[in-house]
Copies of this chain bind each other. A is one copy, B any other.
Amino acid sequence: MANIQDVAKKAGVSVATVSRVLNNHSSVTEKTRIKVEKVISELSYEPSMLGRNLRTSESKLLLVLLPSVSNPYYTEIINGIEETAIRNGYNILLCETDSNPERESRYFSLVKNRMADGIISMDPAVNKERLFELAKTYPIVQCSEYDKGADIPFVTINSELAAYHAVKHLIKLGHKKIALLTSDEQFLYARERRLGYERALREFDIEVNKQRIYYAGNIGFENGQQGMRSLLELDDRPTAVFAVSDILAIGALKEINSNGLRVPNDIAIVGFDKISFSNMTYPTLTTIAQPMYRMGSMSATMLINKIQGKHVESIVMDHELVIREST
A contacts, CB < 8 Å to B: 46-51, 53-54, 57, 59, 61, 68-70, 72, 75-76, 78-79, 82, 86, 91-96, 103, 106, 109-110, 112-115, 221, 250-251, 253-254, 257-258, 276-277, 279-282
Is the pair B93, A106 in contact by a Cβ cutoff of 8 Å? no
Is the pair A57, B50 in contact by a Cβ cutoff of 8 Å? yes
Q: How far is the CA of A156 from the CA of B53 in the complex (A)?
A: 36
Is the pair A75, B86 in contact by a Cβ cutoff of 8 Å? no
A82 CB contacts on chain B under 8 angstroms: 96
Q: How far is the CA of A70 from the CA of B250 in the complex (A)?
A: 18
Minimum CB–CB distance for A205 against chain B, Å: 36
Is the pair B78, A69 in contact by a Cβ cutoff of 8 Å? yes
Q: Which of B86, B103, B279 contacts A221 (CB 8 A)?
A: B279
Q: How far is the CA of A61 from the CA of B277 in the complex (A)?
A: 32
Minimum CB–CB distance for A18 against chain B, Å: 15
Q: Which residue of B lies closest to A220 (CB)?
A: B276
Q: Name the 9 nearest CB pairs between A and B, nearest first.
A: A70-B75, A46-B112, A94-B94, A257-B282, A50-B54, A49-B113, A49-B115, A48-B114, A54-B54
Query: Beyond A69-B75, A96-B82, is A113–B47 a contact (Cβ under 8 Å)?
Result: yes
Is the pair B96, A93 in contact by a Cβ cutoff of 8 Å? no
Is the pair B72, A91 in contact by a Cβ cutoff of 8 Å? no
Q: Which of B53, B86, B113, B281 contacts A106 (CB 8 A)?
A: B86
Q: Which of A48, A95, A257 counts the most B-chain CB atoms under 10 A from its CB?
A: A48
Q: Which residue of B lies closest to A82 (CB)?
A: B96
Is the pair B110, A48 in contact by a Cβ cutoff of 8 Å? no
For this complex, 14 residue pairs linking A to B, each with C-beta atoms less than 8 Å apart, are A50-B50, A50-B53, A50-B57, A50-B59, A50-B115, A70-B72, A70-B79, A82-B96, A86-B106, A91-B93, A251-B280, A253-B282, A254-B281, A258-B282
A257 CB contacts on chain B under 8 angstroms: 282
A49 CB contacts on chain B under 8 angstroms: 59, 113-115
Q: How far is the CA of A91 from the CA of B64 in the complex (A)?
A: 13
Q: How far is the CA of A310 from the CA of B282 in the complex (A)?
A: 51
Q: Which of B48, B86, B221 contacts A280 (CB 8 A)?
A: B221
Q: How far is the CA of A48 from the CA of B115 in the complex (A)?
A: 8
Additional A-B contact list (5), CB under 8 Å, known A49-B59, A51-B54: A53-B53, A53-B54, A54-B54, A93-B93, A254-B282
A95 CB contacts on chain B under 8 angstroms: 91
Minimum CB–CB distance for A3 against chain B, Å: 11
Q: How far is the CA of A79 from the CA of B250 in the complex (A)?
A: 24
Minimum CB–CB distance for A143 against chain B, Å: 15
Q: Which of B50, B61, B251 contacts A114 (CB 8 A)?
A: B50
Q: How far is the CA of A182 from the CA of B91 in the complex (A)?
A: 34
A113 CB contacts on chain B under 8 angstroms: 46-49
Q: Which residue of B lies closest to A1 (CB)?
A: B137
Q: How far is the CA of A109 from the CA of B282 in the complex (A)?
A: 44
Q: How far is the CA of A139 from the CA of B155 in the complex (A)?
A: 39
Q: Which residue of B lies closest to A253 (CB)?
A: B282
